[in-house]
Amino acid sequence: MRVISNGVKKVGIIGLGSYLPKKVFTNADLEKMVDTSDEWITTRTGIKERRIASVKEAASDLAQKAAESALKDASLKAKDLDLIIVATITPDMQFPSTACLVQKALGAAKAACFDISAACAGFVYALSIAEKFILSGVYRNALVVGSEKLSSITNWKDRNTCVLFGDGAGACILASVKSGGIISTYLGADGKNSHLLTLPAGGSRLPTSKETVSKKLHFVKMQGNELFKSAVRIMSDSVDKVLRKAGLSCKDLDILIPHQANIRILLAVAKKTALPAGKIYFNIEKYGNMSSASTAIALCEAVKSGRIKKGDIVVLDAFGAGLVWGAMVIKW
Ligand code: ACO
């Protein structure tokens, strides 16, 4: 790898974009498909509606649209990109990587490309990897995308899971910055609890067969209750740890951008960290849980709507299947 420049002190986000499929799928629509109610979904999860991609749209298509918007926001062209990382658990296919498909769609010919699999924490993991490439001087401009078509791995007959998920993509461009930027990162994992949230078949353990299809092993399997408790504990702990690494405390935080899995998880995190709910960004009501795309889209919306202003201390906080988690402090 060729070192482009030395002396990069800070890496920051210089452009953001998001894409949500047009189709809105409401709780009332779900009531017609499974034994559920708007009341149950709203009180247990905080979700009112979610977006569902069309049959023609795959994760790379959603990612491409979010990436184009982020490039425009950063006033860069696709040819300026040195690196593309896509965080996804719903890649277009096992291989090639979705990042390579995004590269082709954008025309970002000189970019190195790979995907990472860190479920709902994928966007934060990918940001951290891209930051290191830029800090080391290897690359100048990196595109990081969280893109998911969770509707493609959802069992629409299982009320335990189908009410939770949605589709979307969020993207950002990272580069060296003179002020602000990423201050600290905290990443973690707990493979002992990998069984709590899985997509069992389609990999080398259980290759696709008539049996795996008939047993519905190509859909998300989740132990929601156990995950709930882990999510509250780990997301609260991550906020404390990442702020401490930055030499800051909760009092310094202007806004928390959490992974949007369940409103009750986020309110419990607020209570545990003694953060006022007003300092937390919520959009779960509109989109449900979009795994790696959730944090990316929430960050993009918070910036574009003016909730995040220059100089603000922003904390990203994500948790998901693996188990994996990632938090990041960014000065805007
Ligand atoms: N409508 C109506 N009733 C339902 C529904 C539904 N959609 N889903 C479940 N129920 C029923 C259950 O059958 C159960 O009934 P029973 O008591 O008669 O057995 C009852 O409601 C309670 O079920 P629980 O699973 O205990 O409900 P809970 O309050 O735990 O909520 C939920 C479930 C929303 C899934 C919650 O546990 C949760 O949000 N968990 C965390 C999810 C998460 O964080 N995932 C990680 C990130 S996702 C990723 O990485 C891709």
Helix/strand/coil (H/E/C) assignment for every residue in 29-40: HHHCCCCCCHHH
- How far, in whole angstroms, is CA 115 from its chain's centroid? 13
Ligand 1 centroid, distance to 157 Cα (angstroms) = 14
Strand partners, 329: 184, 315
Taking the CA of residue 322 as reference, the ligand 1 atom at the shortest distance is 50
Radius of gyration (C-alpha) of the chain in whole angstroms: 19
What tokens were used for 11? Answer: 């890496």
CA atoms of 106 and 85, how far apart (whole Å): 13
Work out the number of other CB atoms within 10 angstroms of the CB of residue 114: 14
pLDDT at 7: 75
Q: Is 259 a catalytic residue?
A: yes
pLDDT at 9: 83
Q: Collapsing DSSP states into helix, strand and coil, what is residue 214?
A: helix
Strand partners, 26: 49
CA atoms of 65 and 219, how far apart (whole Å): 26
Taking the CA of residue 230 as reference, the ligand 1 atom at the shortest distance is 44
- How far, in whole angstroms, is CA 316 from its chain's centroid? 10
pLDDT at 3: 47
What is the pTM for the complete model shown?
A: 0.95
Q: In which residue are the tokens 């184009």 written?
A: 68
Q: Which residues in the chain land under pLDDT 50?
A: 1-4
List the residue whose alpha carbon is closest to atom 7 of ligand 1. Answer: 159
**Region of residue 137 (left: phi > 0; alpha: psi -120 to 50; beta: else):** left
Task: State the catalytic residue, choosing from 100, 120, 162, 300.
Answer: 120
Taking the CA of residue 227 as reference, the ligand 1 atom at the shortest distance is 41
List the residue whose alpha carbon is closest to atom 1 of ligand 1. Answer: 36
pLDDT at 5: 52
pLDDT at 58: 98
